[in-house]
Structure 1
Amino acid sequence: MGETLPRVPEGARHRSVTLGRPVQTLRVKMVLLGSSTVGKSSLALRFSKDQFKSTSPTVGCAYLTQEVHLSDVTLRFEIWDTAGEEKYHSVTPLYYRGAHAALLVYDISKRQTFIRAQLWLQELEKQYTPGSTVIWLVGNKGDLVQDRQVLAQEGQTLANEKGLGFTETSAMSGDQVSELLQAVAHRVHKCIGEQRGGLSEWQETPLVDLHQRDTFNPFTSCCKVGP
């Protein structure tokens, strides 16, 4: 899943042992889209903590992070795991707008989820400018190969036709999950990170000590009332 660098107080920069100079940390918003039960939450957990556990359907959206260290930059992925249930469909665009990467996830043992992933792609194509978002087709649940309903070649063919990346994974076993994140990281850095204003630098938000009475007064307001 890439080398995770230790956090330093400044937050925005890390020290490279090999180069002996600061390594820039850039923010990458990545959204996971797909039907309910295809394993989006399990993939997100693998990305973030390299763990697997059974999860309940996501309500609205869940948020996790992970850092991927490339040769000359660190990408801090902000991973948005969206709900797959139809009743949440109308609010999902609120989460994937502005995403630098989008994973279209389907279950290789359920053809309907593959069809649904193509509908998500149509939705994405209405929202993003070509070149501004790296889109990856992900056939998950590779551990259910004996129940396969979608051939790997079908996924690869669709990806080739639409100019997408393609990977089959198993969130349960972890197979190809770290490789997927590394591949997405390289593609994002190459296609978006080198564009002018493509990726912003991540800055750690300082904590505010509300107990310091000399700097925080609950009885004052920044808003003026009256003339």
Structure 2
Amino acid sequence: MAQAGGLPQASTTSGQPYVSKLVLLGSSSVGKTSLVLRYIKQDFNSVLPTVGCAFFTKVLDVGSSSLKLEIWDTAGQEKYHSVCHLYFRGANAALLVYDITRKEGKEFAESKSLLFMETSVKQNYQVSEVFDTIAQELLKRAGDRGSSSPQDGEAVVLNQGPAARQRQCCA
């Protein structure tokens, strides 16, 4: 499932790719890192759990435009939940990765008007397609609004915790 919000940020130099931040979200051991490694490096191996956040980039050519995806792979372990929201700031899209054997997400995605695709990292099924679809949607939204400024788009609300969590540190 993916929600695209905000707009990709374009470089001021003509011919440079749009830059867009994509965060991967999901519980521990659902395959977030495996998904991005399969996409970026065409590699499928066992990986250790992510500590904090891992960062990847890839430039995609979509029609006559280019998009540089900055992919933030967040840790799924609960002990990192308190810091993961820091990685969400400024995200243009989020990809929710989950284990389909636990609960089917299609109904949830449809109820929230989210993009939905099932993938298999092991079989390399629709891995590239999921990232390509997000890139196309981000560029489409940038074109529809006739602007490349991320401030013109809708924000992606990823964490709606209690108001007490919004306090400044040490205040």
The aligned residue for residue 176 of structure 1 is 126
**TM-score, length-scaled by structure 1:** 0.57
Which one has the largest radius of gyration? 1
Deviations 1:9-43 (A, max 9, x none): xxx79xxxxxxxx6431111000000000000001
Deviations 1:109-167 (A, max 9, x none): 223xxxxxxxxxxxxxxxxxxxxxxxxxxxxxxxxxxxxxx3xxxx2221111010000
Query: Where does 1:148-227 land on structure 2 (aligned, <5 Å)?
Result: 150=104, 155-192=105-142, 194-195=144-145, 196-198=147-149
Deviations 1:92-114 (A, max 9, x none): 11001110110011001223xxx
RMSD: 2.0
Percent pairwise identity: 48
The aligned residue for residue 209 of structure 1 is none
Unaligned 5+ segments in structure 2 are 1-10, 152-171
Following superposition, the deviation at residue 197 of structure 1 comes to 3.7
Following superposition, the deviation at residue 191 of structure 1 comes to 1.6
Query: Where does 1:81-92 land on structure 2 (aligned, <5 Å)?
Result: 81-92=73-84
Aligned residues: 139
Q: Secondary structure at the match of 1:79?
A: strand
Unaligned 5+ segments in structure 1 are 1-11, 14-21, 112-149, 201-227
Distance 2:106 2:27 in 1: 19
2:86 to 91, 94, 106: 94
The answer to whether the 8 A contact 1:29-1:78 is kept is yes
Distance 2:138 2:99 in 1: 24
Distance 2:113 2:52 in 1: 29
The aligned residue for residue 60 of structure 2 is 68
Distance 1:57 1:36 in 2: 7
**TM-score, length-scaled by structure 2:** 0.75
Distance 1:33 1:89 in 2: 11
